[in-house]
């Protein structure tokens, strides 16, 4: 999430950012956008329970697609007077990937696909969306080079410049792994650390 913002999109100060999906990855995108100086960070999720937690990671406003009759991309274009500068799809849903692209401002808007879709899924949009200047990008490992840049990330964590502990919402024993997966699927958990029993 951090790398999608810093390395892949290279979000600049003053930008308007939309984050689709406020799970762990989406919150990391919001954190990265905040540290990059984004002026507005719009969190989009159908689970309103995630909104309070997201504020702590930098999200400045929230949109629940279920509250609107119009397609979410149109809601965001209206809300931002023409579209966002950057959007990030953090769900892995191909129809949301399309919405994330189409909510971007024509001429310069960039949408980054972070979420991993199911095998065999395809993304679609009208060519007009791209020939009017929008950019569609993908990212893997946030564009970080593991050998040289992970130590830098660890240093940022040690200096309390990036969050890590805040993403861990549960600690359980390995025997409770199925319950841990249930918590993740229900959206009541960001990350769970499983301890090996001795």
Question: What's the CATH code of the domain at 33?
Answer: 3.40.50.720
Residues 82 and 138 placed together within one structural domain of the fold: yes
| 191 CB neighbour count, 10 Å cutoff | 14
Residues 64 and 107 placed together within one structural domain of the fold: yes
What pLDDT does 195 receive? 93
Q: How many domains does the chain have?
A: 2
Residues 133 and 89 placed together within one structural domain of the fold: yes
* Model pTM above 0.85: yes
Residue ranges in the chain modelled with pLDDT below 50 = none
Return d(Cα 190, Cα 183) in angstroms, integer. Answer: 9
Residues 175 and 82 placed together within one structural domain of the fold: no
Residues 84 and 33 placed together within one structural domain of the fold: yes
Domain enclosing residue 41, as ranges: 1-143
Beta-carbon contacts of 3 under 8 Å, excluding residues fewer than 6 positions away, are: 32, 139, 141, 142, 143, 144
Return d(Cα 26, Cα 110) in angstroms, integer. Answer: 16
Strand partners of residue 25: none
What pLDDT does 147 receive? 85
Residues 162 and 184 placed together within one structural domain of the fold: yes
């Amino acid at each position: 999430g951090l790398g999608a913002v810093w390395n892949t999109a290279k979000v600049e100060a003053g930008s308007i950012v939309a984050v689709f999906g406020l799970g762990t990855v989406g919150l990391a995108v919001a954190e990265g956008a905040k540290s990059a100086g984004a002026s507005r960070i719009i969190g989009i999720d159908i689970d309103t329970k995630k909104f309070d937690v997201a504020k702590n990671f930098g999200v400045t406003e929230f949109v629940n697609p279920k509250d609107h009759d119009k397609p979410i991309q149109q809601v965001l274009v209206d809300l931002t007077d023409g579209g966002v500068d950057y959007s990030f799809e953090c769900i892995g849903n191909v129809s949301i990937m399309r919405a994330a692209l189409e909510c971007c401002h024509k001429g310069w808007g960039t949408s980054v696909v972070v979420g991993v879709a199911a095998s065999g899924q395809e993304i679609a949009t009208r060519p007009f969306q791209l020939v009017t200047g929008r950019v569609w990008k993908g990212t893997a490992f946030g564009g970080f080079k593991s050998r040289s840049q992970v130590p830098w990330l660890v240093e940022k964590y040690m200096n309390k410049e990036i969050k890590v502990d805040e993403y861990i919402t549960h600690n359980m024993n390995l025997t409770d792994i199925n319950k841990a997966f249930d918590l993740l699927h229900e959206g009541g958990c960001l990350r769970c650390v499983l301890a090996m029993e001795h």
